[in-house]
Amino acid sequence: MTQVFYVAWRYLAYHRWKTITLVGAITLIVYLPIGLRVLVDQSSRQLTARADATPLLIGAKGSPLELVLNTLYFGSDHPAPTRYAEAMRVTESGLSATIPMYVRFRARGHPIVGTTLDYFDFRGLEVADGRNLAMLGECVLGSRAAESLGAGPGDYVVSSSESVFDIAGVYPLKMRVVGVLEFADSADDDAIFVDVKTAWVIQGLVHGHQDLNRPEAAAGVLGREGNRVIANASVVQYNEITEENLESFHFHGDLSNYPLTAVLVVPPDQRASALLQGRYQSDEDLAQIVTPVAVMEDLLGTILTVERFVVAGAVIVGLATLATAALVFLLSLRLRRRERLTLFKIGGSRLAVASVMASEVVVVLASGALLAAGLTLLTSQFGSLAIRALLRT
Amino acid sequence: MAVEAGVETGAEGSTLLVYTVSYPLAYFAERIGGDLVRVEFPAPPDVDPAFWSPDPETVAAYQRADLILLNGAGYASWTDRVSLPSSRLVATAAGVADRYVVVEDAVTHSHGPAGEHAHGTIAFTTWLDPTIAVEQARAIRDAFSRARPQDEKAFDEGFAELERDLLDLDGRLSEIVAADPARALLASHPVYQYLTARYGLEMRGVHLEPDEPPSRAAWRDLQVVLEEHPARWMLWEAEPLPATASQLRELGIESMVFSPAGNRSADGDYLSVMEANVRRLATAYRGTPER
């Protein structure tokens, strides 16, 4: 039997390009539908698990999918802003606890997630190194963000400008890293967490600057009318929050008008959830309330439909490829008639010659199947990372 | 769950760990919660908690609390510059926001595209109006009951006793002022807005520090005020320097301490400090100490 396989192997090795083409074709035929199935299963599990753990979201009226993807996976497309008043509205109703979310800014490609400490409790995130947020201007890194930025407690992360041409807009803020979170195997691992007020500092809504009553600020003061001091934009504003200038940071305007990308709502029971959803049904309301799991199921429905088409296409292509492979083998048998005669003449039995030919087919099919299994294994291991990367973009 | 100094806190059925930003709130919480709560007010006794800022370690201690009692009305502005769990914050004066006193002479400034804004435009010593203090205590009672429904009855009883004391204080203050509603008073510092609003006091504020001798400009400003507001008593947050008191006496103004009770006092608790305030105010109004 060993000799049979040896002869088959030598033949395949000699015709290596034909063998490689056949094995590659078989691999793709087997891998495409199975790998796609694994990927879809994984994405379904991931998407629904995080959406399942997020009861309700409130955001500005617009695309519910954009709202959910930005809040759950910190996608770079941020929805239109809603107001902090929406969080206050729900809290004051007594129906539910709320967690404000402001996911708009980035630092070296990582999302800056402005929220409150309640988010860490809600997602069960623990600090592995350092401590949690305490003062304005501090940040805590997700485990993969810390690795990618090469930063840990005591280091600094600088927020990115939204646009190089936006000279009057968002200035970079130098934020002190105070902690790194434990690996959570979720979108939180790639994020940079700050207090929502620090996110407003990045936007310039909360800011610190020179005391306008001090002599060093005199150059920036245009005039004084009683208790009113008018200054120009040259007043030095701080781009890092330190112990020395922390006291100078203050809010501009009414807190209720401050922007959020979403309000995460955690009602205690179904009744509170239903009551809250009822309150956002008015057409005049500028905010919408969405159930993330329903939005994700809609998305999954679309993905599954696409998957069905892709699998059907793959099966048809597979059948055609198998037919072509069979033809290749049959034609090959015909072309190798003289080779078989030679084998007979040197004493090979009909069975031995048939075994050599069959072994060649088996080796090609087995190699293709093995490679497909390997690719499927890789997909199951790293598919979740690919899905998360896709969701972030 | 937090375990500190041998007292288990944070778990259902155990002691409720409560942090506050002012002493009056700590006092109210202690009266309402009794042994069922452990109240922490970490500001040092020698500072004004309104302008104190905790270090990151103290902020972390606040973060471990089951409830964090805020005053509201812009008091303890450090809470705007730190990270606290919003689900555990109790804004005790939020229910009486319509009674906030707006400070007319606050400094405003404008620069850049955001436009004009003002700092500290709302007076924050809300507890000096005992009826507002009752509402703040009620908010504390409600927060305690939500956190520990099984102890609601005990919290109700603690609140009822406190409410009685605060309303008694309110009654006595009303009675004192009713004897001479037009009596002119001076406040050495603008901290008595809620007292003024509640009892309709004829009080004008100046800016004098009890531990600093007034400047010449301050004396001149005082003379200007006295010309149109002939007050004979000045309320101080703490005992003024003897020289200042003596110079005021030469102008015909007697000094009287009316402590805002913003921090723990060596002279007693919130109620006893307020009762001493009432007795001294009675002197100003009637010339004799109140009963």
**What are the pLDDT digits (tens) for B19-30?**
999 999 999 999
A–B interface: beta-carbon pairs under 8 A: 95
pLDDT bracket for residue B119 (50, 70, 90):
very low
The residue ranking higher by pLDDT, B174 or A36, is B174
Average pLDDT, chain B: 86
pLDDT bracket for residue B2 (50, 70, 90):
very low
Q: What is the pLDDT of residue A178?
A: 95
Q: Do A135 and B119 touch (CB under 8 A)?
A: no
Structure tokens, B120:
């500290």
- Rounded Cα gap, residues A89 and A275, in angstroms: 13
Residues of B in contact with A100 (CB under 8 A): 86
The residue ranking higher by pLDDT, A171 or A93, is A93
pLDDT bracket for residue A264 (50, 70, 90):
very high
The H or E element spanning position A29 is helix A16-52
Q: Is A245 on the interface with B (CB under 8 A)?
A: no
Min mean pLDDT across A128-142, A169-183, A242-256, B118-132 is at: A242-256
* Section B32-54 average pLDDT: 92
What's phi and psi for B185, nearest 5 deg? -130, 160
Q: Is A217 on the interface with B (CB under 8 A)?
A: no
Give, rounded to a whole angstrom, the gap between the first and last alpha carbons of chain A. Answer: 55
* Section B157-165 average pLDDT: 97
- What is the rounded radius of gyration, in angstroms, for the C-alpha atoms of chain A? 31
The yes-or-no verdict on residue A371 having pLDDT over 90 is yes
* Section A375-393 average pLDDT: 77
Q: What is the pLDDT of residue A165?
A: 57
Average pLDDT, chain A: 85
Among the listed residues A252, A292, A260, A288, the one whose alpha carbon sits nearest the alpha carbon of residue A115:
A260
Q: What is the pLDDT of residue B111?
A: 46
Give, rounded to a whole angstrom, the gap between the first and last alpha carbons of chain B. Answer: 48
Residues of B in contact with A195 (CB under 8 A): 82-83
Q: What is the pLDDT of residue A8?
A: 85
Q: Write the ipTM.
A: 0.78
Give the chain A residue whose CA is nearest to the CA of B114.
A252
The yes-or-no verdict on residue B125 having pLDDT over 90 is yes
Indicate the length of chain A as a whole number.
393
Q: What are the Cα distances from residue A87, in Å, to A111, A122, A220, A264, B68? A: 22, 16, 37, 8, 19
Nearest to A227 among B59, B86, B108 (CB): B108
The yes-or-no verdict on residue A86 having pLDDT over 60 is yes
**Domains in chain B, CATH or no CATH each:** 2-94+128-170 (3.40.50.1980), 180-286 (3.40.50.1980)
Q: What is the pLDDT of residue A172?
A: 85
* Section B95-124 average pLDDT: 66
The H or E element spanning position A353 is helix A350-392
Q: Do B53 and A246 touch (CB under 8 A)?
A: yes
Pairing of strands A127-130, A174-181: antiparallel
Tell me which amino acid residue A249 is.
F
The yes-or-no verdict on residue B15 having pLDDT over 80 is yes
Q: Do B111 and A235 touch (CB under 8 A)?
A: yes
- Report yes or no: B239 and B220 within 8 Å, Cβ to Cβ: no
CA distance A45 to chain B (A): 30
Quick check: helix, strand or coil at residue A289? strand
pLDDT bracket for residue A387 (50, 70, 90):
confident
* Section B32-45 average pLDDT: 95
Residues of B in contact with A94 (CB under 8 A): none
Task: Classify burial at B223, counting beta carbons within 10 Å of its beta carbon; exposed 0-12, middle 13-18, buried 19 or more.
Answer: exposed
- For every residue of B36-85, DSSP letters joined together read GEEEE--S-TTS-TTS----HHHHHHHHT-SEEEE--TT-SGGGGGB---
Task: Classify burial at B102, counting beta carbons within 10 Å of its beta carbon; exposed 0-12, middle 13-18, buried 19 or more.
Answer: exposed
- Report yes or no: A183 and A143 within 8 Å, Cβ to Cβ: yes
Min mean pLDDT across B11-15, B108-112, B282-286 is at: B108-112
The yes-or-no verdict on residue A222 having pLDDT over 70 is no
Query: How many other CB atoms are there within 10 angstroms of residue B242's CB atom?
Result: 9
Q: What are the Cα distances from residue A386, in Å, to A17, A46, A192? A: 32, 12, 20
Report H helices in chain B: 23-33, 56-63, 130-147, 152-178, 193-199, 216-228, 242-250, 270-286
CA distance A249 to chain B (A): 7
Residues of A in contact with B190 (CB under 8 A): none
CA distance B138 to chain A (A): 16
- Report yes or no: A176 and A152 within 8 Å, Cβ to Cβ: no
* Section B231-237 average pLDDT: 91
Tell me which amino acid residue A277 is.
Q
Task: Classify burial at B110, counting beta carbons within 10 Å of its beta carbon; exposed 0-12, middle 13-18, buried 19 or more.
Answer: middle
Query: How many other CB atoms are there within 10 angstroms of residue A128's CB atom?
Result: 12
CA distance B103 to chain A (A): 12
The yes-or-no verdict on residue A57 having pLDDT over 80 is yes
Min mean pLDDT across A6-15, A229-238, B64-73 is at: A229-238
Residues of B in contact with A117 (CB under 8 A): 63, 83-86
Query: How many other CB atoms are there within 10 angstroms of residue B41's CB atom?
Result: 21
Helix A16-52 and helix A292-335, axial crossing angle in degrees, nearest 10: 170
* Section A92-103 average pLDDT: 91
Give the chain B residue whose CA is nearest to the CA of A98.
B87
The residue ranking higher by pLDDT, A214 or A371, is A371
Quick check: helix, strand or coil at residue B160? helix
The residue ranking higher by pLDDT, B251 or A230, is B251
Nearest to B60 among A131, A227, A237 (CB): A131
pLDDT bracket for residue B14 (50, 70, 90):
confident
The yes-or-no verdict on residue B162 having pLDDT over 70 is yes
Structure confidence by residue, pLDDT tens digits, A142-167: 999 999 999 999 999 999 876 655 55
Report H helices in A256-336: 270-279, 292-335
Helix A292-335 and helix A350-392, axial crossing angle in degrees, nearest 10: 150
Interface of A with B in 136-155 (CB under 8 A): 136, 138
- Rounded Cα gap, residues A353 and A358, in angstroms: 9
